[in-house]
Amino acid sequence: MNGAVWVYAVVPEPAGDNGTDLLSGDTTGVAGESVRLVAEGGLAAATGSVPLSDFAEEPLKEHLEDLRWLEAAARAHHQVIEELHRATDVVPLQFATVYHDDDAVRAVLAGRAGDFAAAFARTRGRDEWGVKAYVDPGAPAPAAEPEESGGGTPGTAYLLRRKAEQRSREDAYGRAEKRAEQLRAALADTAEQEVAHRPQDQRLAGYEGWMILNDSFLVPRAGAEDFSTCVTACREQFPDVRLEVSGPWPPYSFVGRENREERP
Amino acid sequence: MNQPAWTGPNSTRAPAQPGRGEPSSLADILERVLDKGIVIAGDIRVDLLDIELLTIKIRLIVASVDRAREMGIDWWEHDPALSSQERDVVEENRRLRRRVGDLEAERSAGPAQVTASGAEEATEPAAEEEHRRPEPAGEPDSRPDGGRSADRGRRP
């Protein structure tokens, strides 16, 4: 076989037919290929046959450096997983998990069955919600003390002013951190798990101010309303913060980071 | 900047009503598909760009893309900025190691008052550290959370 097999996600093996009800016929993957299931031991991997000309080690490495390719492929990867997530429980695989053939995929399903079972147990019937919080760093600090300009020379005044500026920036950092912790604590109340991501790149994500929080929360579907209410309450409680919610996402951030450290 | 903002796949709906279709933001997708998901070794081994390095690369592109487009320049499509940056770090490492080696050799070879402080400078790991995590000049404030994020800096 002159190809490779890209794996998108693992789902419970659908009863009955070959899972055509999980994926609409026109779902295509990272290479524009149609997506199919490879089943083993009660699990099924959503896979696509992709050409080695693009997905062998060398060409794949090159593609990963090409941001247009990467964007299209990342969106396609996500699209497949999202469609599965709409239909069933899903454990997303990290982008660019590629095997030589279906047998290798079946071997992984069998060999890592325990990890998949654990991931399903954690995330079944749940969604990931993303929450970002922004503050305006230029917003006036509450009750700022006017700085003594001091008698001294112009040089001293300058240094004092610099010092005051630095202090007010540190204060703003401090307030932002405190705010982030308060938000995280409040939101975690209505979520089962919570993961902090890095603040996103300002220009890539196109925002102003400081992103003080970029977290994912794992929320049972039945608790989505409570989570939403909690977000609304946070907006009211912290009017200095702008909150942005995204989701529901497939549970990307909750399916097995503990494996991360084993990466070669 | 206080209005409610629901973004992402479900931006205009209440969360309890599943219903998607809106394209999610690229930053949101990349941080999930590249950096999350269950990690299983594939037959075909590639190193995914660390999301942080990736955003640096993207930042370079986003910063230039509009102006460059106006000028009809498309260098970013083939831009090896990141890999050349990595090469620079590797090269600098090599240079520093060589220098340290030389200095140590000198010191053990003879009375080398000259070299002690030089050697300390050369072994300073901050040089490498800084290159691995370049922060763009003029935007030192975009990450107020310091080392807070749970998944910061996990990759060697």
The verdict on residue B17 lying in a domain is no
pLDDT digit string, tens, across residues A152-202:
788 888 888 888 888 888 888 888 889 999 999 999 999 999 999 988 877
Contact B1 A78 (CB under 8 A): no
pLDDT digit string, tens, across residues A31-75:
999 999 999 999 999 999 999 999 999 999 888 888 889 889 999
Phi, then psi, of A225 in degrees rounded to 5: -65, -45
CA within 13 Å, CB half, A68:
7
pLDDT of residue B13: 33
The verdict on residue B61 lying in a domain is yes
Contact A196 B34 (CB under 8 A): no
Does B121 share its domain with B99? yes
Q: Tokens 């950092």: give the residue.
A: A173
By Cβ distance, the residue of A57, A112, A198 closest to B46 is: A57
Q: With 70 as the cut, is the pLDDT of residue A19 above it?
A: no
Q: With 60 as the cut, is the pLDDT of residue A134 above it?
A: yes
The verdict on residue B60 lying in a domain is yes
CB contact at 8 A, A204 and B62:
yes
Sheet hosting strand A210-220, strand order edge to edge: A193-196, A210-220, A126-135, A241-249, B5-6
Number of domains into which chain B is organized: 2
Does B53 share its domain with B75? yes
Does B58 share its domain with B98? no
pLDDT of residue A253: 95
pLDDT of residue B121: 41
Mean pLDDT of all residues in A212-220: 96
How confident is the prediction along chain B (156 residues), in pLDDT tens digits per residue?
333 333 433 333 333 333 343 457 888 998 899 888 898 889 988 877 666 676 666 656 655 555 445 544 444 444 444 344 545 666 677 777 787 788 877 777 755 444 444 444 444 444 444 344 333 333 434 444 443 444 433 333
pLDDT of residue B35: 85
Closest among A252, A254, A250, A224 to A85, alpha carbons compared: A250
User: According to DSSP H, which parts of A97-200 are helical?
Assistant: 102-111, 113-123, 154-188
Output the 3-class SS for B96-154. Answer: HHHHHHHHHHHHHHCCCCCHHHHHHHHHCCHHHHHHHCCCCCCCCCCCCCCCCCCCCCC
Does B73 share its domain with B88? no
Contact B44 A55 (CB under 8 A): yes
Distance from the B140 Cα atom to the nearest Cα atom in chain A, whole angstroms? 11
Does B103 share its domain with B125? yes
Distance from the B24 Cα atom to the nearest Cα atom in chain A, whole angstroms? 8
Residue type, A214: N
Per-residue pLDDT band at A95 (split at 50, 70, 90): very high
Distance from the B127 Cα atom to the nearest Cα atom in chain A, whole angstroms? 23
Contact B29 A177 (CB under 8 A): no
pLDDT of residue B62: 56
Chain B contacts of A232, Cβ < 8 Å? 4
Chain A contacts of B28, Cβ < 8 Å? 130, 200, 246
Higher pLDDT, A221 or B71: A221
By Cβ distance, the residue of B44, B63, B144 closest to A203 is: B63
Q: How many Å apart are CA B39 and CA A258, to the nearest integer?
A: 9
Determine whether B110 is exposed, middle or buried from the number of CB atoms within 10 Å of its CB (0-12, 13-18, 19+). exposed
Distance from the B125 Cα atom to the nearest Cα atom in chain A, whole angstroms? 23
CA distances in angstroms from A209 to A133, A215, B1, B142, listed in the order given? 10, 17, 10, 8
pLDDT of residue A11: 96
Higher pLDDT, A142 or A99: A99
Does B128 share its domain with B84? yes
Please give the residue range of the domain that contains residue B106: 80-135
Contact A245 B8 (CB under 8 A): yes
Q: Among B32, B56, B133, B142, which would you mutate to test the A interface (most chain A Cβ atoms within 10 Å of its Cβ)?
A: B32
Q: What is the ipTM of this complex?
A: 0.86
Contact A197 B146 (CB under 8 A): no
Distance from the A154 Cα atom to the nearest Cα atom in chain B, whole angstroms? 27
pLDDT of residue B57: 67
Q: How many Å apart are CA A182 and CA A172, to the nearest integer?
A: 15
The verdict on residue B153 lying in a domain is no
